[in-house]
Each structure stands twice: as C-alpha cells, then as structure tokens.
Chain A
Amino acid sequence: MTGAAVVVRGLHKHYGETRAVDGLDLQVESGEVFAVLGPNGAGKTTTVEILEGHRHRDSGEVSVLGVDPARADRNWRSRIGIVLQDAGDQAELTVSEVIRHFAEYYPTPRDADEVIDAVGLTEKAGTRTRQLSGGQRRRLDVALGIVGRPELLFLDEPTTGFDPEARRAFWELIRGLRKDGTTILLTTHYLDEAENLADRVAVIRDGRVLALDTPKNLGGRAASEATVRWIEDGTHRELATSAPTRVVSELTARLAGPSGEVSGLEVIRPSLEDVYLTLIGEPLPVAATKEDLS
C-alpha cells in the first residue's frame, strides 16, 4: 500500500488554558518509521492519542488509514496497534493468557508464542503480569500492540525502562515489522533510538512541529559546518568549516611529521542531540560525534 497512513492538518487541542496541541501538521507515509521527539509536555501523547481515537480534538483535520479516528469502527481498530504511554492493567492474568486473549479480538492475529518470543518474554510466559518488572511489563505492552498484525502501529515511549540489550532487540523487532510493511509512529526521548529506527523525525514543542526531516538532515544537520580540531605548537586550534576533508588534507600536508600523524586531530559534526537541543532552544552542550582521523 502506498500513500499517507496518517495526515494531520491544523490540529488543535486545548485543556483550559493549556494549548496541548496548537496547530500541528504531520504526514506519515505508508511503510515508514516516523519518530516524534519533543520535551515533556510538548503534546506528543495528546497528538498520538487523538490519532488513536482515544481523545477528542478541538479542531483540525485528521485522517488515519483514510478514516477519521473520531468515527472509528471495529474494522479500523483491527488495522491499528496501540502501545499507550502508561498502563498497569490485567494484573491477575499471565503473560501468555493476556496475549492469547487479545489475539482473539483480531481477524488475522500473529501467533501468540511467536509474539511472546519476539518481545523476549518466553521465560515469563506463565508469570502473572503483576509480578513482571517494569521493563518486562513494557515488553508485554509492545506484544499486545503487535499481536493483531496491525498495518499501523502507534508506540508512545515504547522503550521506557528497557535495559540496553532489550532496547537493541526492540529495534530489531521494529526493523522486522517495517520490512514487512508495517507503518510505525513512535514517540521517544532517546535520540539514538530515533536515529537508528526512524526514516523521518518530527520535533515538536508547545504543540507545534518545529522541524521535520530525516535524522541525517534534521535542522540542516548534514549541511551544517563541522569543526576540525588539532594541536599545533602545543596549543589547541579549531576551525569551523563546511569542507572538513580539505582542511584535514591541508593540515596533513603542513603538519604531519615522519609518523604521518597530525596530533589531536578531530572532526566534529553536530549530533542529533545537538540539533535537537538547538531546535528546542536549549544551550548547546560540548558533546559531539567524534570521527577520529588518526
């Protein structure tokens, strides 16, 4: 299937004085992984839950799989998968019971054991969900989001509480789903997650989209200047340039001794985090992606 899975135009949602969503535009193409970034309170959950049909909007146009979620029916719900930001329900059922039960709701569910395995809960299949750890509980949420074989999957901060290994495994799972044609819209506070998974990223703040691009190009990242640093005559030097390769070869010609090395050489490009923090208006910290050219 091609075309847009999600189209949002001029979306508004106010809670009293709070403009949770304030004129938001978005388009998610079928088959892509789309990440929504933004500080706490930016309006990510509000937006996503409007798309899921859980919240009403004040104004704006919304189309999800060609349907207005405010008028969604069973058929539409069978085509989407939802992982909410917070849930602690079904405490008395075991992992396997919950997943098997939810699978029954869908016309063409995934195999329950495969899903349990896919989220790494095989060893916990017989455990009551109240006894799961925070990260395991979250994996169950992900399992329930994918068990119905959705065309479009919403994930609101899916990997909160995952250990690093589980996060990597989750990324693999998402890549697998993408390969099979699932459209994925996820929110996250982990920039490496967005960088690793997303085809496109939107940064939102105060209910509006500040920037929307591929992780590589976000905020003019690819075109922006790199910083070259080196040590010359015992002092640290640095130069901002849009042609770092040329600068490095000049430095090599000029400074490299018999060893062929330029001492302290670094080429620094802004990381996604730098770009993100600039966009949302935080001061730029020193951290950077290092490409050591020794």
Chain B
Amino acid sequence: MTELSEKTVAAATVALPSTLRLGVARTRVELKQFFRSKDSMIFTFLFPVIMLMIFATVFSRQGDVGPGIPGGPISFGQYFLPGMVATGVMLTSFQSLAIQIPVERDDGALKRLRGTPMPSASYFLGKVGQVLVASVVQLALLFVVARVLFAIPLPTAPGAWLTFLWVFLLGTACGSVLGVAFSSIPSSGRSASAVVVPVVLVLQFISGVYFMYSDLPTWLQRVAEVFPLKWMAQGMRSVFFPDAFKAIEVRDSWEHPMTAVVLAAWLVLGLVVGIRTFRWTRRGDN
C-alpha cells in the first residue's frame, strides 16, 4: 500500500455529476452485471429464443394455423412468435428487476449506493437503461432467429412497426415499474426467484403465450384480462399476424385502445406502489 497523493480541491466549488450522466454510468455497470450473470443470460435473455426454437421445431409437423383466414394460413413458428416477444419483454423488465433488486437489497449493494452521492433517480435510470438495451438486443436476436432459421415473415408495413413500438415501450415501462414494486415482496434475495418465477409462469400460461388464448375457459380469460401480459401478447399478435387474424381473438378485434388503457393503468399503479414501498435496506435493518 502506498500513500495517496493529495490534490487540494475546494469540494464546494466543484459541481456534483449530473443525474443523467450517472444514469448512463449506472446503465453501463447494470448491463455488465446482467450479461455476466449466467442466470439472467439463460432464463431471461435467451429464454424466448430457446422457446421459439423448441416450439417452432417440435410443432412444425402439426400443420399451419388459420387455413381459412385471409392472409393465412401461418406457420406454427409465426403463430408462436408474438407470444415470445411479449414474454421476452416481461422477463427482461419485470422478472429481471423483481429478482435483481431483492438480491441487491440483501447483499448490501443498495445500502452501499445509498451511502454515496449517487441520486436515486440515477439508479432507476440505470435500471431502465438496462431493461431497454437488453430487451432491444434480445428482440433483435429473436427476429433474426425467426427470420433466418424458421423463415417466419416479419411485417413490412410501417403501421405494424409503429404498433410494435408503442406496445413494446408501454410494456417495457409497465414491466419495469411493476418489477420495482414487486421487489419489496420477496423476504430475501435468496427467495426472490422462488417468488417471482411462478408468478411469471402462471401469467404466461393464462395469457395466451403458449396456448391459443381463445381455447382457454372463459373464466380464465377474464382473470388473464386483468393482467398486462395478455394485452402485450395480443398487441404483438396484431403486429406479427395478418390483419384478418383478428378473427381468432375472443372479441374479433385487436382491441388496441383497451391494450393501451390496461398497460397504462398498471404503469401508474406500479409507479405509485413502487415509490411508496421501495427500500434501500433490508427489512428491520434501520
């Protein structure tokens, strides 16, 4: 150990770094940590790609979907793609934050950050940055695999991509704030995945990600309609299916306005709950 050199600086005259700059710095380290963790790589980042490959391969012999519908039929891979897009958004936003934050709270990372001049807003900007970058890369990879390996046609109309953009952004925002809000529920870092993963799994099964939503019993459809994943999946179907396929939806419509309303409502709810419940320290540790 050597002595530290001393610059004499009047601390008061030097401004603190801006919230935005530190948000960018946080994004960088968040992404490093995300991509270096095997768990988040496999069970969050690559999960939709892996599932698409399995399903598109296994069910390719079962024939196509919607033979009587104009613009149809579509391959099973294409049928499965929007569900995997919605799942990817939910995993990368909701699941990863709802698991990561309790771990950070438990291992003292949040407490350490709290003891520095980094503003809380920068921390959350870092999380948003992580979710955005990771999900954009994740979906890009998913589209490449879909197109190249399974010859799934991707939409060409600008309108479809515009729909994709707002459903994606609203879904990511909603999933992120809900992930932050949910992060106060697991009692420890170790129990976080045990609490979060079943919630995510049940939502996937009832939201028409793996099965055709219209095949679900009506009461289960009503339950799923309360939650955002069903609406994200439906919104993504409107992007990746020919327009006439809205005939397979339960209300013969893509229901875009309703999608926007439900996602926005969860976004607001998540913000209100998240702001009130977020803690930098373990329960009973202050």
Contact = CB atoms under 8 A, between A and B. Distances in A.
Please report whether the interface of chain A is mostly helix, strand, loop or mixed according to DSSP: loop
Contact of A87 (B5, B7, B29, B107): B107
B6 A78 contact: no
A105 B118 contact: yes
B1 A117 contact: yes
Contacts of A79: 11
A93 B35 CA distance: 11
A108 B7 contact: yes
B156 interface: no
Nearest to B9: A108
A115 B4 contact: yes
Interface string A44-81: 00000100111110000000000000000011011110
A155 B198 CA distance: 41
B286 interface: yes
Nearest to A107: B14
Q: Could you say which of A77, A93, A169 has the most chain B C-beta atoms within 10 Å of its C-beta?
A: A77
Given A105-B116, A108-B9, A54 B32 contact: no
B6 A117 contact: no
Interface residues of B, number: 37
B32 A92 contact: yes
A54 B22 CA distance: 22
A90 to B, nearest CB: 6
A194 B11 CA distance: 30
A105 B24 CA distance: 12
Contacts of A86: 108
Interface string B1-28: 1111111010100111100011001001
Q: For this complex, into which size category does the number of interface residues on chain A fall?
A: 35 or more
Interface string A165-188: 000011011001100100000000
Nearest to A180: B6
A148 B285 CA distance: 25
Interface stretch (A22-30, A96-104, A249-257, A270-278): A96-104
A89 B104 CA distance: 7
Contacts of B21: 104
Interface of B: 1-7, 9, 11, 14-17, 21-22, 25, 28-29, 32-33, 36-37, 104, 107-109, 111-112, 114-119, 281, 285-286
Given A88-B107, A90-B33, A106-B17, 4 more contacts: A89-B104, A108-B14, A118-B3, A177-B4
Sorted from nearest, which 9 A-B pairs have the closest CB atoms? A89-B109, A169-B1, A87-B108, A78-B117, A107-B14, A82-B115, A92-B36, A77-B117, A74-B117
